[in-house]
């Protein structure tokens, strides 16, 4: 098997295992998780279709590079991809009898989003000029980012499921906050890229701005991890409050759908 392909898939597998182990109280059926992951893989198709429709409306990268980067980050990538993920996540799990505890929202959202990230990552890595460098950078940054967007989405989907009184507001947040996180993540990189192309890398002011944007990107990425881990812990506590007994994840291993 191609080493580049393995490198593209490995970070996805690590995060799938990580979130499965975090599901301490009522582990989800493996078939259901695999189905959710598969739906995430095919969610790339409608997302790309939406992006193709929206892209022509982007401001000029040559004349308005900042607006171009913001538009592509928040609208083309953030809006399209997170909307498709949320709609398919709701279709897969909302009425499922297995969605019976708070932490389930994060688990299923992570599996679906990592399915999306897996297909996207394979495409970027196999098409890249330096496949191993691309695999390393995306494995450290892009794949975990999709995981963290999903943690936020699943967090609010679970709150919506178990708090009918505030359901509408939580479902709105389940789309808005991942979209803003995704958009900010991409925009920090895209604005830097479009500025460099528009004004040239020899422009010292532009290079300072790009360096500042990259530093902001790293800080933002660290913050996302902190937010994500806090949300994971919070819903673990909510699941415990629901009265589920703690078990090792593999003690609840089942293939039931």
* pLDDT tens profile 69-84: 999 999 999 999 999 9
What is the distance between the alpha carbons of residues 81 and 94, in angstroms, rounded to a whole number?
19
90 — pLDDT class (breaks 50, 70, 90): very high
Please report the pLDDT score of residue 243 as a whole number: 72
* pLDDT tens profile 196-233: 888 876 778 888 888 999 999 999 999 999 999 999 99
Mean pLDDT of the residues in the chain? 91
What is the average per-residue pLDDT within 155-167?
A: 96
What is the average per-residue pLDDT within 17-22?
A: 95
pTM: 0.91
C-alpha radius of gyration, the chain, whole number: 19
- Secondary structure tally for the chain: helices H, strands E: 10, 0
């Amino acid at each position: 098997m191609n080493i580049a392909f393995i490198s593209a898939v490995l970070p996805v597998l690590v995060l799938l295992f990580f979130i499965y182990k975090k599901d301490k109280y009522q582990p989800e059926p493996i078939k259901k998780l695999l189905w959710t992951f598969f739906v995430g893989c095919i969610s790339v198709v409608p997302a790309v279709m939406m992006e193709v429709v929206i892209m022509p409306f982007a401001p000029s990268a040559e004349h308005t590079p900042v607006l171009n980067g913001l538009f592509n980050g928040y609208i083309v990538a953030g809006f399209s991809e997170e909307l498709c993920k949320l709609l398919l996540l709701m279709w897969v799990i909302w009425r499922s009898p297995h969605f019976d505890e708070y932490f389930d929202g994060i688990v299923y959202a992570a599996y679906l989003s990592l399915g999306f990230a897996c297909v996207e990552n394979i495409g970027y890595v196999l098409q890249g000029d330096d496949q191993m460098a691309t695999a390393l950078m995306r494995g450290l940054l892009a794949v975990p980012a999709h995981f963290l967007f999903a943690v936020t989405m699943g967090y609010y989907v679970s709150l919506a499921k178990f708090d009918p009184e505030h359901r509408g507001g939580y479902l709105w947040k389940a789309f808005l906050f991942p979209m803003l996180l995704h958009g900010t993540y991409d925009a920090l990189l895209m604005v830097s890229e479009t500025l460099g192309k528009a004004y040239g890398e020899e422009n010292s002011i532009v290079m300072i701005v790009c360096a500042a944007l990259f530093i902001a990107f790293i800080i933002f990425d660290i913050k996302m991890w902190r937010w994500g881990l806090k949300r994971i812990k919070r819903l673990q506590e909510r699941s415990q409050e629901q009265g589920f007994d703690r078990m090792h994840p593999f003690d609840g291993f089942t293939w039931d759908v």
